[in-house]
Structure 1
Amino acid sequence: MSDNRSHIEEKYQWDLSTIFATDQAWEEEFETLSAQIQDAKSFAGNLVTSGQNLLEITEAYLDLSRRLEKFYVYASMKNDQDTTVAKYQEYEAKATALYAKFSEVFAFYEPEFMTLSGQDYEAFVAEVPALSAYAHFFEQLLKRQAHVLSQAEEELLAGAQEIFGAASETFSILDNADIVFPFVTNENGEEVQLTHGNFISLMESKNRQVRKEAYEAMYSTYNQYQHTYAKTLQTNVKVQNYKARVRKFDSARDAAMSANFIPEAVYDTLLEAVNSNLHLLQRYVNLRKQVLGVDELKMYDIYTPLSQTDMTFTYEEALEKAEQVLQIFGKDYADRVHRAFTERWIDVHVNKGKRSGAYSGGAYDTNAFMLLNWQDTLDNLYTLVHETGHSLHSTLTRENQPYVYGDYTLFLAEIASTTNENIMTETLLKEVEDDKQRFAILNHYLDGFKGTVFRQAQFAEFEHLIHIADQEGKVLTSEYLNNLYADLNEKYYGLKKEDNPEIQFEWARIPHFYYNYYVYQYATGFAAASYLSEKIVHGSQEDIDKYLGFLKSGSSDYSLNIIRKAGVDMTTVDYLNAAFKVFEERLTELEELVARGAHL
């Protein structure tokens, strides 16, 4: 059983008092923000009556948005650190409701802006030169013109925001707070309660019985609740399809990708490239069967490291290694990493009620915090450098961009994090002294690629198929979802669904299916990062400088342009082919090491 939060040393807890010194200060900001958002109603009808009004109302809108972001982050992170505390559940609900109110009050903004002709806009900029600071912001709005509704319709949609989010929130509460998993036996023969936090480490166990028991316990629990999970997922899909239809998009995918101005062809190119390279995944799966020495490989054998060499890192050792490796980016970057590691930006350990997984979060005016659920594994070292990549991307963006461009798109988000991972791999492979350690690092890299490119593409394929199915009028029952997921899993791994019946329920436990076409970006991001890290490690200072320029760009240009300046054209298949080439080279090297007995 994980500890209560009160038992965890302060130095391992993030310091949210740097956002609001006390809960009281947050509550005071709630009153002030609520009143100011209410007052902002008077802006409606006046946005484009003059250039000065356009400037003042835009700046008021951005200022309230900036403060609301900080306000929300405090509530959300307080809730994430222990989801069973009613006070912070209420804080997050209040913050979500205030966001909905803000959206409702400013629902006039886009429709009114859309009435402005290009000629009038240019006249405004000539009259009020300060507007030119928002040129890219305004240009993006005009590009969305066809999908903005009338003011009354926008108000109705904004007012329904909380309702639209209900399926996702219900999933989150069920999955993080209410669902109880059984006790299982760990590698030391101890009875432990299965949690989201310890499931992966149990699945990585070298003891096959431990893996099997944890796997069956996890999915037997999801089997019990499959109809409820199907309902939350179906409702979420219906919400995305409805919103896309109302806004005159061809599909939910079109709507989601249009938000970042990414053509749908990028998604299709990814899935085509992955499907044409499934033979590499299956080659790796076959090698796994050979190394593990099993007659029949099961899905619960997919995650255990093949290496007999346990590379373990305490949290402190991981911090030291990460700092050393990330020095490649120069002093400015390294100084900020040190601050993140020493100024309590990180919530480190598992505790009862804590949100599962890991993330980097924060707002424009806060530290770029990280949530971890630490285990002493090589994988967790990679999680640390991954989330540090996100946090440094956020920090450098906020330091170099005004608030209006002080964030970056989801499409670019995964590139900074996985570039760090790839550089860690390159560094460890360079330092490695014997075949057994080399085997462990190659195995970790290939597992990471499998999990980030192949697995996330599998998720992306599933997500797209269920949205299309709903669009075509099919009912997303648990039976439908189970069958679809089982078929896809067999196609990817080449392991028969009849021999792996539990995997059909895996869709039920994946929170990313509620993130609206998010997962494909893990795969495209990893492939782009593979390409970039090669340049950073083996290229020139200019390659590093171009990459740092990307980290500082925020959303000051379109995503594809920003990453193109760093040296990757993501509209072509070339960067994907380059990534699969690295995968195949490292797989071949691992096969050679197996032939030499390095795994024994």
Structure 2
Amino acid sequence: MSTQANSDKNVRDVGESLRASEVRGKPRSEIDPAYRWNLEDIYAAEADWQQDAQRLQALVQAFVGRQGTLGRSAADLLAGLKHHDEIGMVAGKLYVYAKMKLDEDTANGAAQTLFNQATSLLVQANAATSFFVPEILSVDANQLQAFVDATPELQVYRFALEEITRQRDHVLSPEAEQLLAQFGEVLGAPSDIFEMYNNADMVFPTIADENGQSVEITHAMYHELLERKDRDVRERAFTAVYDTYKRHRNTIAAVYAANVKRNVVNARIRNFPSARVASLDADNIPVAVYDNLIQAVEESLPALTKYLQLRKRVLGVDQLQMWDLFVPLVADIDWKIPYDEAKATVLDAVKVFGDTYLEAATRGLNSRWVDVYETRGKRSGGYSWGTYGTHPYILLNHTDTVQDMFTLAHELGHSMHSYFSRKTQPYVYSDYTLFVAEVASTCNEAILYDYLGRIIAEPAKRAYLLNQQLETIRGTLLTQTLFAEFEKMTHDHAEQGGALTADWLDETFYQLNVKYYGNAVNVTDRTAHGWMRIPHFYSAFYVYKYATGISAAIALSRKILSEGQPAVAAYVDFLSAGSSDTSIELLRKAGVDMTSPEPVRQALTQFEQLVEELGKVL
């Protein structure tokens, strides 16, 4: 039986939607398979995974014999490139399956073992193929060009080879690259340690809710508690979570410091002036894009203050606290959206992208791409993932909130970007760069806001959506820029010889929050510990891409809604382009120029306009 048929059989109608409360606390095995992703689409059984693991080892061993041959002839270069691609495809499937299996239950010993095996295989593959780029760079540039020009099958690799050549000054000798690759598992330890510590070992206390019932705080439940109407519940949740992190501050500081030092050392070894430049160079992004973002957001902080002052007045509090920043401003609305209803709404919204997009999205969401509900030990948050040769997968921790519906739209955007890129592009260009990674996801959110604004007439819900849209921009553009500035400061401090102690990290994060929120919010000492909660800090200089991504997405969504089919066609071309051109050029073809500060300023202008509009409504 096909996955599609199996999924259709299990999915309920919207009218009988399963609610998150019905599955909370249940073992994973008791949740309807329709709400669990189907990793068997990758490997039907672990024996198949192990068979591919052996295949990878054979491919890696054979690849070692190619060392010294890549420059001999066009045929040798082509064979090496294809062999390298095959290793990447098999290794990707092995790693993605093992990681998602672990994410189902991070405390599962068997899953931990499989993931450790996958990590070791990946390190071995990286070590064995580490000579690949240095050896290509050792070939005379004119000779390399001649190989490509004379060989039709090499034409597809032209841009990839140009990108390799661009980084000539930052690639080490084959021996040095091999040595670094062998340390891959060790260098990735800070991220692995934090994830295990944060998801498997971090235990938050139980608090009383507004009815006096005990509620065990989890990562997903925490966000729901911060939206509760009862201010005391919000304060108890905030205090419990931040005090829990405070007890671990020295350990987490040591883990994060190790991560920063790894980035700094890697940049120095590769002859980059800083870790930030090294990170941005991977996507060929000028550092000015990062600096302009921070500057533009800091210039707009009066608009943030105005919004926060509005929030204070509407909530009727003497002093706005950090735990008051997420509760909806429309006090009399109780808007719960079960997953199936959220799915149907999102699919209606994305019809604007055309039949091809809609058909793919519908098929995916009805074919067990999604792992919907929180279960004990499951990785927190949400993501879209997969690899070449698999369909995309989406991890959620759905709790029936409006925000969770937008999370589904967000992750579906990622999945559609991956789906079209992998479907259209050869393996070498099938992944998109991290710089454009958040464009499709936040574009989906903008389209969903527009759709809901057109179909919902109830004033309270319309006001709620205005508030939600403001919160999306605040969280994605303003907050992520605060995080980006924190990352810049931590890496600058380490590069100047400073120690990243818990005290320094707390004080730095506290002062940034004072700068952003201090004119309207009581920024207490507890706020200083917020840096400990951010998993993305272990993927250095990633968070700024949320801010640039939403700026590009707002611009693209406006074009799609105002121009129709021509803009839709350009957008789907962008989704299908993978990494076949530079990120800046791909976005320019889609209709937005990110070398200019204008997209960021336009997004911030929209934030100001929404503040004005919400103020009038309320």
Question: Is TM-score (shorter-chain normalized) higher than 0.5?
Answer: yes
1:509 matched to 2:533? The reply is: yes
Matching residue's letter, 1:446: L
TM-score normalised over the length of structure 2: 0.95
Residue 582 (structure 1) aligned to one of 606, 613, 617: 606
Matching residue's letter, 2:258: T
Instruction: Show the counterpart of 1:70.
Output: 93
Instruction: Show the counterpart of 1:257.
Output: 280
CA contact (8 A) 1:83 1:353 kept: yes
Aligned-partner Cα distance in 1 for 2:260–2:225:
32
Matching residue's letter, 1:48: G
Instruction: Show the counterpart of 1:456.
Output: 480
1:197 matched to 2:220? The reply is: yes
Aligned-partner Cα distance in 1 for 2:521–2:149:
65
Instruction: Show the counterpart of 1:386.
Output: 410
Instruction: Show the counterpart of 1:571.
Output: 595
Aligned-partner Cα distance in 2 for 1:561–1:398:
19
Displacement after TM superposition at 1:2 (Å): 3.2
CA contact (8 A) 2:60 2:125 kept: yes
Cα deviation, 1:242-283, whole Å, max 9, x if unaligned, reads 000000001001000000000111000100000000111111
Instruction: Show the counterpart of 2:459.
Output: 435
CA contact (8 A) 1:358 1:370 kept: yes
Instruction: Show the counterpart of 1:549.
Output: 573
CA contact (8 A) 1:397 1:551 kept: yes
Instruction: Show the counterpart of 1:525.
Output: 549
1:150 matched to 2:141? The reply is: no
Residue 24 (structure 1) aligned to one of 37, 47, 53: 47
Displacement after TM superposition at 1:495 (Å): 5.3
Displacement after TM superposition at 1:124 (Å): 1.5
Displacement after TM superposition at 1:315 (Å): 0.6
Instruction: Show the counterpart of 1:354.
Output: 378
Displacement after TM superposition at 1:332 (Å): 0.8
Residue 232 (structure 1) aligned to one of 226, 247, 255: 255
Alignment of 1:222-371 (within 5 A): 222-308=245-331, 309-371=333-395
Instruction: Show the counterpart of 1:476.
Output: 500
Partner of 2:234, secondary structure, is: helix
Aligned-partner Cα distance in 2 for 1:499–1:244:
35
Higher deviation after alignment, 497-506 or 279-288: 497-506
1:535 matched to 2:590? The reply is: no
Cα deviation, 1:513-544, whole Å, max 9, x if unaligned, reads 10111000000001111111111112231111
Partner of 1:107, secondary structure, is: coil
Residue 489 (structure 2) aligned to one of 465, 479, 503: 465
Aligned-partner Cα distance in 2 for 1:122–1:225:
55
In the superposition, relative to structure 1, how do residues 539 and 352 fare at CA in structure 2: closer, same or farther (>3 Å)?
same
State how many pairs are aligned: 594
Instruction: Show the counterpart of 1:598.
Output: none
Displacement after TM superposition at 1:499 (Å): 5.0
Matching residue's letter, 2:34: K
Displacement after TM superposition at 1:431 (Å): 2.1
1:376 matched to 2:376? The reply is: no
Displacement after TM superposition at 1:129 (Å): 2.4
Aligned-partner Cα distance in 1 for 2:519–2:214:
30
Instruction: Show the counterpart of 2:187.
Output: 164
Higher deviation after alignment, 95-104 or 117-126: 117-126
Aligned-partner Cα distance in 2 for 1:311–1:496:
28
In the superposition, relative to structure 1, how do residues 221 and 63 fare at CA in structure 2: closer, same or farther (>3 Å)?
same
Higher deviation after alignment, 309-318 or 420-429: 309-318
Aligned-partner Cα distance in 2 for 1:324–1:395:
19
Matching residue's letter, 1:492: Y
Cα deviation, 1:543-588, whole Å, max 9, x if unaligned, reads 1111111111100100000000011000011111111111111110
Aligned-partner Cα distance in 2 for 1:143–1:371:
36
Residue 14 (structure 1) aligned to one of 37, 53, 58: 37
Alignment of 1:131-150 (within 5 A): 131-150=154-173
Instruction: Show the counterpart of 1:597.
Output: none
- In structure 1, stretches of 5+ residues that fail to align are 595-600
CA RMSD of aligned residues (A): 1.2
Matching residue's letter, 2:254: K
CA contact (8 A) 1:298 1:495 kept: no
Partner of 1:43, secondary structure, is: coil
CA contact (8 A) 1:37 1:105 kept: yes
Aligned-partner Cα distance in 1 for 2:458–2:407:
25
1:37 matched to 2:57? The reply is: no
Alignment of 1:79-90 (within 5 A): 79-90=102-113
Aligned-partner Cα distance in 1 for 2:148–2:53:
35
Cα deviation, 1:416-470, whole Å, max 9, x if unaligned, reads 0000000111111122313222211100000111100000000000011000000
1:118 matched to 2:146? The reply is: no
Aligned-partner Cα distance in 1 for 2:189–2:151:
42
Aligned-partner Cα distance in 1 for 2:69–2:334:
65
Residue 53 (structure 1) aligned to one of 76, 84, 104: 76
1:404 matched to 2:419? The reply is: no
Aligned-partner Cα distance in 2 for 1:230–1:497:
26
Aligned-partner Cα distance in 2 for 1:499–1:422:
30
TM-score normalised over the length of structure 1: 0.97
Matching residue's letter, 2:603: A
Cα deviation, 1:184-203, whole Å, max 9, x if unaligned, reads 12344321211111110001
CA contact (8 A) 1:182 1:193 kept: yes
- In structure 2, stretches of 5+ residues that fail to align are 1-23
